[in-house]
């Protein structure tokens, strides 16, 4: 019998191997063992590496403790797309929004710049998430055939 954490780390290591096998991408793991790392530290690690993509793998139970499929999530600025997405966002969020846009000193300019960057990031995330879903659908059951969206703090970073 495997623990949830062992399964997640095994999936992450396998994904790292598959990505690095492509030859044009480098993977930086925020953790390599079952230890808690605060969101702020994970985000700082990703920013230090100038990451273009942040993948967070979870094995979470919602309505049943039995594994039953996979989901892909992207940030939503308009609320959750399902009760499951809302529940998962609420249980995962543990810190405040950390923006990657430098401050100009003018809050209106900062807000506009942040909105533009966030909109582009969400669009790219939805496109990438759709491609991931297409591949995952050949491997196991999908909870939804679309990318779910919610206000995850980790996705806002």
Q: How far is Cα 38 from Cα 118, in angstroms, rounded to an integer? A: 22
What does the DSSP 8-state code read for residue 78? S
Give the torsion sign (CA, 17, 98, 78, 82). positive
In the three-class reduction of DSSP (H, G, I as helix; E, B as strand; rest coil), residue 70 is classed as strand
Domain containing 136 — which CATH number? 3.40.630.40
User: What are 93-141's pLDDT values in tens digits?
Assistant: 433 333 444 456 677 766 666 666 666 677 888 888 888 888 888 888 8
Query: What domain count does the chain have?
Result: 1
| 17-73: pLDDT as tens digits | 988 998 898 999 988 888 888 878 887 888 888 888 778 777 766 666 666 778 877
Q: pLDDT value at position 147? A: 86
pTM for the structure as a whole:
0.61
Domain enclosing residue 143, as ranges: 4-156
């Amino acid at each position: 019998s495997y623990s949830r954490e062992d399964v997640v780390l095994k999936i992450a290591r396998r994904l790292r191997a598959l990505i690095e096998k492509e030859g044009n991408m480098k993977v930086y793991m925020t953790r390599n063992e079952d230890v808690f790392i605060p969101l702020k530290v994970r985000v700082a690690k990703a920013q230090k590496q100038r990451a273009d993509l942040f993948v967070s793998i979870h094995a979470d139970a919602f309505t049943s403790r039995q594994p039953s499929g996979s989901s892909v999530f992207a940030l939503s600025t308009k609320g959750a797309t399902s009760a499951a997405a809302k529940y998962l966002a609420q249980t995962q969020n543990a810190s405040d929004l950390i923006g990657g846009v430098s401050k100009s000193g003018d809050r209106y300019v900062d807000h506009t710049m942040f909105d533009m960057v966030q909109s582009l990031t969400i669009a790219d995330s939805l496109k990438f998430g759709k491609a991931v879903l297409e591949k995952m659908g050949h491997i196991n059951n999908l909870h939804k055939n679309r990318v779910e969206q919610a206000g995850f703090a980790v996705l806002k970073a």
